[in-house]
Amino acid sequence: MVNLSCKERGFKEIKYMIKCRSMENKEKIALTGDRPTGRLHLGHFVGSIQNRIKLQDEADQFFYMVADIQALTDNAERPEKIRNNVLEVVLDNLACGLDPKKTTMFIQSEVPEIAELTILFLNLVTLARLKRNPTVKDEMKQKGFEENVPAGFLIYPVSQAADILFCHSNIIPVGEDQKPMIEQTNEIVDDFNRIYGDTFSRVKHLVGDTPRLIGIDGNSKMGKSLNNAIYLSDSYEEISKKVMNMYTDPNHIHVEDPGKVEGNVVFAYLDIFDSNKKEISELKKQYEKGGLGDVVIKKRLIEVLEKLIKPIREKREELAQNPEAVMKILEAGTKHAREIAKKTMAEVRKVVKIDYF
Ligand code: TRP
């Protein structure tokens, strides 16, 4: 800036201000999705669903996708499982308050333009880059894939970039584990724009208040496949049983023994789900001093969780009575998503110069 005249400098600043303003004024288009591999749990709720409910009011457009194609990347031999869980994940979301009047709810496989876009994006990503994705790496280890990883599984972050970009979405409410997918999406945006001209905008991820909820066994992550989850559809009895089995402090044997709060799953959950912070802080002090039994804090947690889950479970049961109505919601949403996808694909074909006829 040193060598610029006042006039030049002023001009640059105005240009910069206009750029900032146009970024601020950009339409907020949010998108998120679930793999239909099982019912959703409390980890999904605090990591992403709470933000979805907010965003459907705050964003200009909000899309919710059932990622059945992504779910098939490591379930190719279990198509019925994926098919059956489409309804389950949609029921969970509707029961938590996702409103089809505000949200476009659709099925990934019914928008084939996403697959088309994926093929073009794949040319911009190297095998080395795919193998570096930390979430994919973790999942591969967990599933024991090594070199025999299905190719579709290894490239799912690229297909996820297509999920995000087909409707030009720019805000992605997801759990912490999805951050690498957003980074990969932004690299694709930059490369695509550099090669074919400005087409897509960079995207931001939005993580919930609790990006990662520990499992009931104390494992660092609550997960369907880890068998350590409390589901949004769990009954009072199931919640009670799970909380009663929660990991606390193995050295806290007698009520009068001093106990450890750190690493204690019951307190970790009370911190998140119990709104009476003052009482929790007093209970922690008492627990550390000795004289507070595990059963007391567990009973408290059961009631707190039941208060949260009961209305969700009841709404879910009601919605589950009419699966055809839920499928109708998906059909209408999918139609809308497909129209948008066709438009984007026409733009993309043009800039990639494959618009022949
Ligand atoms: N990978 C996400 C998950 O496992 C699901 C998903 C698929 C998604 N496509 C997406 C999330 C696009 C956000 C945006 O939870």
Q: Write the residue with the smallest CA distance to atom 8 of ligand 1.
A: 33
Q: Residues with beta carbon inside 6 Å of ligand 1?
A: 31-35, 65, 67, 70, 160, 163-164, 172, 174, 178
**Structure tokens of 311?**
């209305």
Rounded-to-integer distance, Cα 164 and Cα 270, Å: 34
Question: Best substitution site from 163, 170, 177, 206 to test ligand 1's pocket, by max atoms within 8 Å of Cβ?
Answer: 163
Question: What's the whole-number mean pLDDT along residues 219-233?
Answer: 89
CA of 64 relative to ligand 1 center, distance in Å: 10
Q: What is the pLDDT of residue 155?
A: 98
Is residue 155 helix, strand or coil?
coil
Q: By the 8 A CB rule, do 258 and 290 touch?
A: yes
Q: pLDDT tens for residues 166-192?
A: 999 999 998 888 999 999 999 999 999
36 CA to centre of ligand 1 in angstroms: 10
Q: For residue 169, what are its two tokens?
A: 């979405």
203 near 186, Cβ under 8 Å? yes
Instruction: Please give the C-alpha separations between residue 309 and each of 48, 110, 280, in angstroms, as whole numbers.
Output: 16, 32, 20
Query: If DSSP codes are grouped into helix, strand and coil, which group holds residue 238?
Result: helix
DSSP letter at 126 equals -
Which residue among 73, 160, 177, 182 is best mutated to probe the pocket of ligand 1, counting the most ligand atoms within 8 A of its Cβ? 160
Instruction: Looking at the CA of residue 181, tell me the nearest atom of ligand 1.
Output: 1
User: In 3D, which of 335, 260, 276, 285 has the Cα closest to residue 105?
Assistant: 335
Give the tens place of pLDDT for each residue, 68-93: 999 999 999 999 999 999 999 999 99
In the structure, what pLDDT confidence band is assigned to residue 15 with cuts at 50, 70 and 90? low
How many other C-beta atoms lie within 10 A of the C-beta of residue 162?
Answer: 25
Side-chain-side CA neighbours of residue 319 (13 Å): 24
- Overall pTM surpassing 0.85 (yes/no): yes
Continuous segment of H or E residues that includes residue 113: helix 113-122
Question: What's phi and psi for 66, nearest 5 deg?
Answer: -90, 110
